[in-house]
Amino acid sequence: MKVLLVNGSPHKKGATYIALDKIRKTLVQNGVDGEIYHIGNKDIHGCIACHGCSRKGHCVFDDEVNSFVKKAESFDGYVFGGPVYYGSINPTLTNFMTRVFYSSFFGGKRIFRLKPAAAVASARRTGTMTSLDTLNRFFTWGEMPIISSTYWNEIYGNNAKEALEDKEGLQTMENLGQNMAWFLKIKELSIKEGIELPISKRVEHTNFIR
């Protein structure tokens, strides 16, 4: 079992990294591999709703998004984390996730379905709740069980040094890692016991204006 932790911050070893690395270390302690994937310093184009992914099987912009989707297929769980910009999650991570989820679904892969996911937000002061709500909406759309912790998945600090002083935030990340590991073990056990994953029906599409 392995979890991919996505660092959407432009700072590779900043506050967001501190939170994700705490989760990763906890996963390893609980017998689950964890890998941090940094995308924050890349130029990520936004989705233009061209629907080209439904024809090509991948996003028409052949960049970090397509590389990530190929890599992510082999993972069992995911954590997406990023910093707060102007009261919400940073645009780079939003662009990235929009194209990842849209192109993988309409490209026919559905690699995230029924795999657990967690959102993490880092902030100097405020905006984490809006950020977490934004990230969690990707998971609920993608049929992904959301992993929670003993508090909201947030850590405070303007940089890595300050984030390390947020003891409650670090504890929240540790508990999140434990919960993720537990869920993955339960899921693996259920599959071994012959409990099949549910089949989703996605035939009906209703538009409100006709």
The answer to whether 113 and 187 are in contact (CB under 8 A) is no
- pLDDT of 205 reads 80
> Residues, the chain, total?
210
Name the phi and psi angles at 33, rounded to 5. -70, 145
Taking the C-alpha atoms of residue 182 and residue 12, their distance in angstroms, rounded to an integer, is 28
Q: How far is CA 135 from CA 54, 81, 110, 122, in A?
A: 23, 9, 18, 13
Q: pLDDT digit string (tens) for 88-139?
A: 999 999 999 999 999 999 998 899 999 999 999 999 999 999 999 999 999 9
In this prediction the pTM is 0.95
Task: Give the pair of three-digit tokens for residue 86.
Answer: 């102007």
In order, the DSSP letters of 98-116 are HHHHHHHHHTT--TTTT--
* Residue 203 reports pLDDT greater than 90: no
Q: pLDDT digit string (tens) for 135-182?
A: 999 999 999 999 999 999 999 999 999 999 999 999 999 999 999 999
Number of C-beta neighbours around residue 183 at 10 A: 18
